[in-house]
Amino acid sequence: MRVIRKVLIAAFVLSLSFQFFMLTSAYGFDSKKVIIFIVDRVNLNDYLSNDLPTIKYLMENGTYGLMTVNSDGAKTPENVYMTLGCGTRAVGSEKAFLNFNASELVYGESAASVFKRNTGLKPQFYNIVNLDIAQIERNNLLRNHIVIPGAMGNLLENTGKKIAVLGNEGNTIEPKRYAPLIFMNEKGIVEFGDVSDSVLKRDVMSLLAYPQITNFFIKNTWS
């Protein structure tokens, strides 16, 4: 079966302290949290024809939607994720997936140092940073309509929301991490989260070349 490139976004507004991707209020209100799961490269038949009790439980107890995102270029992950984060047709860059914890080492130096050299901005150690934000901005300046990379992050921050992105869709060989493209601000920063290799563990039952799965038991610091 040919799998159409789609993104399932299931947003669950919960009063529970459920911990993956989270948005919380920075004000003193007793606000609820929004947890968004992003499942790429699936279509509706994948859910209907497979026994997925956990996914089905989340769908039955939350809100879900199946989306086909038309970017301003090819339907590649970097373009699709950027379009979701910009709220309009957008494009990414060849290295848009270079999202790291600011404290991670990248080619022998901290991601924070690389980010500061590329942008002139000094991130906090708990931030997630995009190391190719300058090229992303240049690429979107060439569009025939207004595109603001980081629009989603800006909007959420301006309304007092705290953002955390947890997860890593890459592997230990090739760190491709796209989810922060949706929630970063215009500076290329997500305030909190963890997209490092520590969120992965080896799947001993897998026959894939890179048998990595999400480690759901990582210590959480975002509640």
CA angle 182/222/85 to nearest 5° reads 5
Residue with tokens 């497979």: 50
SS3 at position 202: strand
Q: What is the helix (H) or strand (E) element at residue 3, kind and residue range?
A: none
Most confident range (mean pLDDT) of 2-16, 46-60, 101-115, 156-170 is: 101-115
**Residue 66: Cβ within 10 Å count:** 13
CB distance 77 to 40 below 8 Å: yes
**Residue 195: Cβ within 10 Å count:** 23
Separation CA 132–CA 104 (nearest Å): 16
For the chain, give me the number of helices (H) and strands (E)?
7, 13
Residue type, 47: Y
Please write the tens of the pLDDT for every residue from 39-60.
777 777 887 788 888 888 887 8
| Spatial CA neighbour of 118 closest among 130, 109, 108, 106 | 130
pLDDT at residue 18, as a whole number: 30
Separation CA 169–CA 99 (nearest Å): 11
pLDDT at residue 35, as a whole number: 79
Question: Facing residues of 64 across strands?
Answer: 10
Give the pLDDT mean for 146-154: 96
| Spatial CA neighbour of 168 closest among 97, 120, 69 | 97
In percent, how much of the chain has pLDDT > 70? 72
Q: What is the helix (H) or strand (E) element at residue 155, kind and residue range?
A: helix 151-158
Give the pLDDT mean for 106-135: 96
pLDDT band of 95, cuts 50, 70, 90: very high
CB distance 34 to 12 below 8 Å: yes
CB distance 130 to 188 below 8 Å: yes
